[in-house]
């Protein structure tokens, strides 16, 4: 755990230090649900910025839904891993149906999260995408594309830890990339945290509520 983070909230506080230039600007923190919302909450609170949830869903392979062939967001932005798509035999009809299903699921979850406000707030502003860690970068890339689709004038991607390969790739797709640590070799994201318990939908809604009220809890 040397150089790691005690938990997501502590990671968010450290990330906020690197994002200090955005304090009280017209920026919006977009926490990638679910874990990124917890990190994003700490960032939003420290910088006096609004917080919204951005939902990116994994696209599962045929007969093996735990194997990701790509990712899609509620805006319909899609990223596919062509090699895995071919290897799993996921044809065009399957991919189309899976994308439609996961977009619908993402939008259903966003409806549940609407206590924190909708994503229209992003238009014309700086969108600061926050995740708890980035391994391959596929979900973060979809998040960046979604943020541009939402009309953000600038896209910033910030995370406590990322693989060097993902960071190198993502740098070309955002206006600014902020990563606190890019360990080599890179292990699973959770190994860089003392506590990496799964974040529930209820916790996401709690953080969105708290951010809306200024973190009075």
Asked if residues 169 and 137 have their Cβ atoms less than 8 Å apart, the reply is yes
Is residue 149 in some structural domain? yes
> Would residue 83 count as lying in a domain?
no
Model confidence band, residue 215 (pLDDT cutoffs 50, 70, 90): low
CA torsion 90-81-66-34 (nearest 10°) is -130
Task: Quick: pLDDT tens for 136-183.
Answer: 899 999 999 999 999 999 999 999 999 999 999 999 999 999 999 999
* pLDDT higher than 80, residue 107: yes
Task: Supply the CATH number for residue 175's domain.
Answer: 3.40.50.2020
Confidence band, pLDDT 50/70/90 cuts, at residue 111: confident
96 assigned to some structural domain: no
Residue 115: pLDDT band (50, 70, 90) is low
pLDDT at 66 over 80: yes
Identify the residue whose tokens are 């230039």: 21
For the ranges 71-80, 109-118, 146-155, the lowest mean pLDDT is seen at 109-118
Flag whether 124 is in a domain.
yes
Tell me whether residue 75 is in a domain: no
Q: Has residue 116 got a pLDDT over 90?
A: no
Evaluate if residue 29 carries a pLDDT over 90. Answer: yes
For residue 193, is it within any domain?
A: yes
Instruction: Supply the range of the domain harboring residue 193.
Output: 8-56+114-212
> Which residues have C-beta within 8 Å of that of residue 30, sequence separation ≥ 6?
40, 52, 53, 54, 119, 122, 127, 128, 129, 130, 143, 147
Say what percent of the chain tops pLDDT 90.
Answer: 86
* Structural domain includes residue 16: yes
Mean pLDDT over each residue of the chain, to the nearest integer: 93
Residue 77, in any domain of the structure: no
The answer to whether the beta carbons of residues 180 and 14 sit under 8 Å apart is yes
> How confident is the model over 118-141, as pLDDT tens digits?
899 999 999 999 999 999 899 999
Name the domain count of the chain. Answer: 1
Mean pLDDT of 20-33: 97
């Amino acid at each position: 755990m040397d150089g790691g983070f005690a938990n997501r909230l502590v990671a968010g506080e450290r990330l906020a230090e690197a994002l200090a230039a955005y304090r009280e600007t017209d920026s919006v923190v977009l926490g990638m649900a679910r874990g990124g919302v917890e990190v994003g909450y700490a960032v939003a609170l420290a910088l006096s910025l609004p917080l919204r949830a951005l939902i990116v869903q994994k696209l599962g392979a045929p007969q093996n839904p735990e194997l990701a062939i790509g990712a899609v967001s509620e805006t319909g932005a899609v990223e596919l891993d062509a090699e895995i798509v071919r290897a799993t035999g996921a044809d065009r009809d399957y991919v189309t149906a899976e994308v439609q299903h996961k977009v619908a699921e993402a939008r259903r979850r966003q409806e549940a999260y609407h206590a924190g406000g909708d994503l229209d707030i992003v238009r014309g502003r700086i969108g600061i995408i926050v995740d708890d860690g980035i391994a391959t970068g596929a979900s973060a890339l979809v998040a960046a594309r979604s943020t541009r689709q939402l009309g953000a004038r600038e896209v910033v991607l910030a995370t406590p830890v990322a693989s060097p390969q993902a960071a190198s790739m993502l740098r070309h797709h955002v206006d600014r990339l902020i990563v606190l640590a890019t360990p080599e070799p890179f292990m699973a994201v959770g190994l860089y945290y003392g506590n990496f318990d799964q974040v529930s939908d209820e916790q996401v809604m709690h953080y969105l509520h708290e951010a809306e009220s200024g973190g009075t809890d």
